[in-house]
């Protein structure tokens, strides 16, 4: 019997050249006095995307979002929404809604009135407003709290009211400014999935600002890593993690070992000579690298195996001494100093409960990794 062949529908409109972007930033610069918050930035965001702006505080991600909402005007450049320049449109006339970091719930209005606030100021006929509010309350599971004031509900509920209020007008674009920042870790994890669920149900384009890389990795279809008002890399979470384009991105997302050395071209890749007397690292790369060029080699701790004898199926080996062990429950991190003084972190999953401790402090161990495990970076 023939199995119906199921092709996974990959959502990747950014790879389709015929797809029209919903939002286009065209050479946008924003200056506050002498300070340049956004520096000649160009970016496309597509319909139905869950797009994350990630970066340290002061990198310009909030300014970028506030320009979409209309609270800041770009100093130069254009911002297009559905092909139309929205710079001259004031915030109250934009089909864009925002969920504020502080939630900004109106303290003098009930949950119901908070959600209805935007609808009352739209073209929606009066008799349909009640229905729409009810729908939003259902979506965010707040039906029994409609009559409460914001101070009479918990933090998690407030977060959902803020979401319901910003979704009520069915905006073409929803902006979320650190939406989960005020929640504790456990609630945050639950809410992340709820957010993704709601985004899928409503089909709204979401742009989220966050400084929490885990949050961005979980929810986003694509992540833009920003620094000093510039986009460093825009890619899918997997792309950002596995193929960072720079030391900055590699270092910003997750743990990473960065080893600097001089390149030497070999068949199918390069060798990186990083220390006198140490075996060079073999790495595959698509980059065009000249002999003797200074490069950085980034490798994630979980890609490095720790063993007492070298694993012969891997291309790279290094010997060293364990100087520190971090036990994190689901995994253990080993900090190893190689013979040449280079420090490397490697991590192993603790798959078995109460497994015999294989290694301890001051043990001599061998680290092994393949030639595709790390990434060669030139900036």
Partner 1 sequence: MKKLSWFNATSLTLGFAFLYIPMIILVVFSFNGGRNVAIWGGFSTKWYGELFNDEKFLNAAFITLRVALATATLATILGTIAAYVLVRGGRFYGRSLFAGMTYAPLVMPDVILGLSLLLLFKVMFSQSGMLTVILAHTTFTMCYVSVVVSSRLVSFDKSLEEAASDLGASAFDTFISVTLPNIAPAVISGWLLAFTLSLDDLVIASFTTGPGATTLPIEIFSEVRRGVKPQINALSTIMIGIVTVGVLIFSILSKRQIAQRLRDEKRAEASA
Q: Which of 221, 220, 252 is nearest to 55 (CA)?
A: 252
Closest distance to partner 1 from the beta carbon of 104 (Å) = 4
Residues near partner 1 (CB under 8 A), total: 33
> Furthest-apart CA pair in the chain: how many Å?
80
Closest distance to partner 1 from the beta carbon of 238 (Å) = 33
DSSP per-residue codes, 215-246: HHHHH-SEEEEEETTEEEEEE-HHHHHHS-SS
Q: What 3-state class would DSSP assign to 82?
A: coil
CA 196 to chain centre: 14
Residue 362: which region, alpha, beta or left (left: phi > 0; alpha: psi -120 to 50)? left
Closest distance to partner 1 from the beta carbon of 97 (Å) = 6
Q: Which CB, 145 or 334, lies closer to partner 1?
A: 145
Q: Which CB, 60 or 150, lies closer to partner 1?
A: 150
x-marked contacts with partner 1 along 77-106 as a string, rule CB under 8 A: -------------xxxx--xxx-xxx-x-x
What are the tokens at 266? 């070999």
Q: Which residues in the 102-161 window bind partner 1 by CB under 8 A?
A: 102, 104, 106-108, 117-118, 121-122, 148-149, 151-157
Q: Which residues in the 347-376 window bind partner 1 by CB under 8 A?
A: none
179, 208 in Cβ contact below 8 A?
yes
Partners of 349 in beta bridges: 331
Only one of the segments 69-77, 233-241, 296-304, 354-362 lies at the binding site for partner 1 (rule: CB under 8 A); that segment is: 69-77
Length of the chain as a residue count:
379
What is residue 363's DSSP assignment? -
Say how far apart CA 52 and CA 219 lie, in whole Å: 8
Q: Which CB, 187 or 315, lies closer to partner 1?
A: 187
Residue 11 interacts with partner 1 (CB under 8 A)?
Answer: no
Closest distance to partner 1 from the beta carbon of 154 (Å) = 3
Closest distance to partner 1 from the beta carbon of 37 (Å) = 17
Closest distance to partner 1 from the beta carbon of 25 (Å) = 19
What is the chain's alpha carbon radius of gyration, rounded to the nearest angstrom? 25
Closest distance to partner 1 from the beta carbon of 122 (Å) = 6
Closest distance to partner 1 from the beta carbon of 109 (Å) = 8
Residue 3 interacts with partner 1 (CB under 8 A)?
Answer: no
Say how far apart CA 333 and CA 322 lie, in whole Å: 10
Q: What 3-state class would DSSP assign to 373?
A: coil
Residue 172 interacts with partner 1 (CB under 8 A)?
Answer: no
Only one of the segments 15-23, 164-172, 198-206, 290-298 lies at the binding site for partner 1 (rule: CB under 8 A); that segment is: 164-172
Q: Which CB, 121 or 357, lies closer to partner 1?
A: 121
User: In Å, what is the CA distance from 258 to each residue of 224, 316, 321, 348?
Assistant: 22, 15, 18, 19
User: In Å, what is the CA distance from 359 to each residue of 220, 321, 326?
Assistant: 38, 10, 12
Q: Which residues neighbour 23 within 8 Å (Cβ) at sequence distance 6 or greater?
A: 43, 44, 45, 68, 79, 80, 81, 173, 205, 207
Among 169, 222, 282, 300, binds partner 1 (CB under 8 A): 169
Closest distance to partner 1 from the beta carbon of 124 (Å) = 11
Q: Which CB, 172 or 265, lies closer to partner 1?
A: 172
Residue 75 interacts with partner 1 (CB under 8 A)?
Answer: no
Q: Which CB, 124 or 331, lies closer to partner 1?
A: 124
What are the tokens at 304? 């490095």
Query: Please, what sign has the CA dihedral across residues 152, 153, 159, 165?
Result: negative
Among 69, 87, 196, 315, binds partner 1 (CB under 8 A): 69
What is residue 161's DSSP assignment? H
Closest distance to partner 1 from the beta carbon of 181 (Å) = 13
Strands 316-327 vs 281-283: parallel, antiparallel or unpaired: unpaired
The binding site for partner 1 (CB under 8 A) comprises: 69-71, 90-93, 96-98, 100-102, 104, 106-108, 117-118, 121-122, 148-149, 151-157, 165-166, 169
């Amino acid at each position: 019997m023939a199995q119906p062949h199921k092709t996974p529908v990959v959502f990747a409109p950014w790879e389709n050249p015929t797809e029209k972007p919903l939002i286009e930033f065209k050479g946008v610069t924003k200056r506050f006095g002498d300070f340049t918050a956004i520096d000649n930035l160009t970016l496309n965001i597509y319909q139905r995307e869950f797009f994350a702006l990630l970066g340290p505080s002061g990198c310009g991600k909030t300014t970028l979002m506030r320009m979409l909402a209309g609270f800041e005007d770009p100093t130069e450049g254009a911002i297009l929404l559905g092909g139309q320049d929205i710079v001259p449109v004031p915030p109250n006339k934009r089909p864009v809604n925002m969920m504020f970091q502080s939630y900004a719930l109106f303290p003098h209005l009930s949950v119901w009135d908070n959600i209805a606030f935007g609808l009352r100021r739209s073209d929606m006929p009066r008799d349909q407003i009640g229905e729409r509010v009810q729908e939003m309350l259902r979506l965010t599971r707040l039906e029994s709290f409609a009559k409460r004031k914001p101070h009479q509900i918990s933090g998690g509920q407030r977060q959902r009211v803020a979401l319901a209020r910003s979704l009520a007008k069915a905006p073409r674009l929803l902006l979320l400014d650190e939406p989960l920042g005020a929640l504790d870790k456990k609630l945050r994890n639950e809410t992340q999935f709820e957010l993704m669920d709601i985004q899928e149900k409503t089909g709204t384009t979401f742009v989220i600002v966050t400084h929490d890389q885990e949050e961005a990795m979980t929810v986003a279809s694509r992540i833009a890593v920003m620094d000093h008002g510039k986009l460093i890399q825009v890619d899918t979470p997997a792309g950002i993690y596995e193929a960072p384009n720079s030391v900055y991105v590699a270092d910003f997302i997750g743990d990473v070992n960065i080893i600097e050395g001089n390149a030497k071209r070999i068949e199918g890749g390069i060798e990186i000579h990083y220390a006198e007397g140490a075996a060079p690292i073999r790495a595959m790369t698509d980059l065009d690298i000249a002999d003797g060029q200074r490069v950085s080699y980034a490798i994630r701790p979980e890609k490095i195996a720790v063993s007492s004898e070298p694993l012969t199926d891997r291309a790279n080996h290094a010997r060293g001494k364990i100087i520190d062990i971090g036990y994190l429950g689901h995994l253990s991190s080993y900090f190893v100093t190689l013979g040449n003084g280079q420090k490397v972190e490697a991590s192993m999953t603790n798959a078995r409960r109460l497994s015999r401790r294989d290694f301890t402090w001051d043990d001599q161990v061998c680290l092994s990794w393949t030639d595709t495990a790390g990434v060669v970076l030139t900036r």
